[in-house]
Chains A and B, each alone.
Chain A
Amino acid sequence: MRIFALNHTTDPAQAVATASKAKTAQQGAEIRFIGGGTTLIDLMKLNVEQPQTLIDINRLPLDKIEALPDGGLTIGAVARNSDLAFHPLVRKNYAVLSEAILSGATAQLRNMATTAGNLLQRTRCMYFRDTAHACNKREPGTGCSAIGGHNRTLAILGTSKDCIASNPSDQNVALTALEATIQVQGARGKRSIPIHEFYLKPGATPNRENVLEPGDLIVSVTLPAPVAGARSHYLKLRDRAAYEFALASAAIVVKVNDGRIEHARVALGGVGTVPWRSHEAERELQGHAANAATFRRAAEAALKEAQPASENGFKVELAKRCMVRALTVATQSA
């Protein structure tokens, strides 16, 4: 691990001012905010991340989870994953988020990991994590070892010829289905970024994973008021029953009225280079009968553009069945 300077601060503005001196907020950033550290310290031990300065944001007053006047919810950037998953308002109004978080990692990691840190969780692509291998995400222009390499766990949606790394998060799949907004305080003030505009597909610049610029500090995540009468569910399929990343997962928010689907939001995990919102699936669901045939049509639509690599073709059917099953469960309980 490279040596770094450790800054402590209790003032978000000061954290932003310090971080805005960095050249990038993306891969290889020389200044990093550190929350739970569960991704960053891991990657620093691997020399995948080598920041010269760490800004400890754990003392910032950004750990609250509170109801909003409009019926929504605000989640502080450093609220811990375990606190979020077990929060009564989350369990009651946003079950998909609680289920998603509790399906990921372990009790220890969830006690450490923060909301914002989870938003910025890095891929588990083994070539990204191993500096002995070429990786366009870690070192732009070196090539992609995963294409044609061991890619069983990697993405089939949103890939490019330069990168097929999958986004590993469960939380962010649920936040995508819930249409969360990410509140950022930056060098030029505050702004709100809808989660579907936050992540960047790899394209020719897989080192750029999101729209954050130097100095940008995620201060909170806001959720809209829950849709009255809607149910939600997160289903995660993986190689083990516990403590494993998703091969495919589905986050569903759905409202059925008189057998017809009135409202549907669908996001997939484990299969996309970013948390994968499927408007195609939602169009197939909206206004249609809540039955197996509709669910299958939605799943076919969601995976239509899938481009599997040499070892992960099984994910196409797995993701479809995952979505159908999640829709079945979510509508059964309605």
Chain B
Amino acid sequence: MSDRSERDQKPEAASRCELGKSTRRTFISRLGMAGLLATTARVTTAFGQSSVKEQSALAESKDAIPVTLTVNGKKHDLRIDPRTTLLDCLREHLHLTGSKKGCDHGQCGACTVHINGRRVNSCLCFAAMQEGNEITTIEGIGQPENMHAMQAAFVATDAYQCGYCTSGQIMSGVALLKEPCGPEDADVKEFMSGNICRCGAYQNIVAAIQNVRKKSG
């Protein structure tokens, strides 16, 4: 039998928060890190303060390899563990946290991004295999002050509740516009079947996508 503990081995792609500057995200990630450190009784850190221990815990993987990724039109020279998925790379190395981790097995669609204009599950790609590809995330298709038509349509039709699946839904919706999807709501539902919404906002998601399709075409 396999050693069960093997399952818990993860690439050491731990987040590098901007030290000393607290946001909700950095606070939560430090809270998690502090909890981890406290339970292993190695060291205690005060929030909002960088510590040597914390930095060493976030050190680069000994197996790291150089990778150049093009994300939202910008080139990034990185050193990452080859096990790092594109999703983890985007979130933990490039701090593009719009793409979400749901199931981490290609079943929920929360991690959907575009590679060369086509939608994929970023949790099932290794980042180190993406050199030369154009990667687009939710951050790359629009910003709060300049939203993509699909983002605006999701707002207009109230196509979300908790919002966790939303960036993946929008990335799928944007990609769908260029795919041979039939005109009916049923066609959109089938094409959107790779994006799960636990809140059940499906009706409004379909409405948002159909509204954009009608306007654009």
Q: With A47-B6, A131-B1, A131-B4 given, is the CB distance from A109 to B176 under 8 Å?
A: no
| Set of chain A residues within 8 Å of B105, measured between Cβ atoms | 42, 45
Q: Which residue of A lies closest to B61 (CB)?
A: A3
Decide if A34 is an interface residue (CB 8 Å cutoff).
Answer: yes
Of chain A, the residue at the smallest CB distance from B175 is A107
Q: Tell me whether A147 is interfacial, beta carbon within 8 Å.
A: no
Q: Which residues of A contact B4 (CB under 8 A)?
A: 131-132
With A6-B65, A6-B126: A108-B194 Cβ-Cβ less than 8 Å: yes
Is there a chain B Cβ closer than 8 Å to A314's Cβ?
no
Residues of A within 8 A of B112 (CB): 108
Q: Which residues of B contact A242 (CB under 8 A)?
A: 189-190, 193
Q: Distance in Å from the Cβ of A292 to the closest Cβ of chain B?
A: 29
B172 touches A107 (CB 8 A): yes
How far is A58 from B126 in the complex, measured between Cα atoms in Å?
A: 12
Bound Cα distance A112, B2 (Å): 29
Q: Which residues of chain A have C-beta atoms less than 8 A from B126's C-beta?
A: 6, 34, 37, 41, 54
Q: From B9, which residue of chain A is reached at the shortest CB distance?
A: A1
Interface flags, A1-42, vs B, CB<8A=1, else 0: 111111010000000000000000000000000101110011
What band does the interface of chain A fall in when counting residues whose beta carbon is under 8 Å from B? 35 or more
Given A1-B9, A46-B7; A41-B85 close (CB under 8 Å):
yes
Q: Which of B63, B180, B190 contacts A86 (CB 8 A)?
A: B180
Instruction: Report A11 CB to chain B, min CB distance, Å.
Output: 17
A:116-169 near B, CB below 8 Å: 131-132, 134, 139, 142
Complex CA distance for A131 and B6, rounded to whole angstroms? 10
Contact of B129 among A1, A6, A105 (CB under 8 A): A6
Within residues 155 to 195 of chain A, which ones have a CB less than 8 A from any CB in chain B?
A: none
Q: A3-B82, A4-B82, A109-B194 are in contact. Are A42 and B106 (CB under 8 A)?
A: yes
With CB as the reference atom, state the residue of chain A lying closest to B83: A1
* Cβ contacts under 8 Å, B179 to chain A: 107
Q: Which of B117-125, B139-147, B149-157, B205-213 makes up part of the contact surface?
A: B117-125
Q: Do the beta carbons of A131 and B7 come within 8 Å of each other?
A: yes
User: Measuring CB to CB, which residues of chain B are less than 8 angstroms from any residue of chain A?
Assistant: 1-2, 4, 6-7, 9-11, 63, 65, 81-83, 85, 104-106, 109, 112, 118-121, 124-126, 128-129, 172, 175-176, 179-180, 189-195
17 A-B contacts (beta carbon < 8 Å): A4-B83, A5-B82, A6-B129, A37-B129, A38-B124, A42-B106, A47-B7, A105-B194, A106-B193, A108-B106, A108-B112, A111-B118, A131-B4, A131-B7, A132-B4, A139-B2, A242-B190
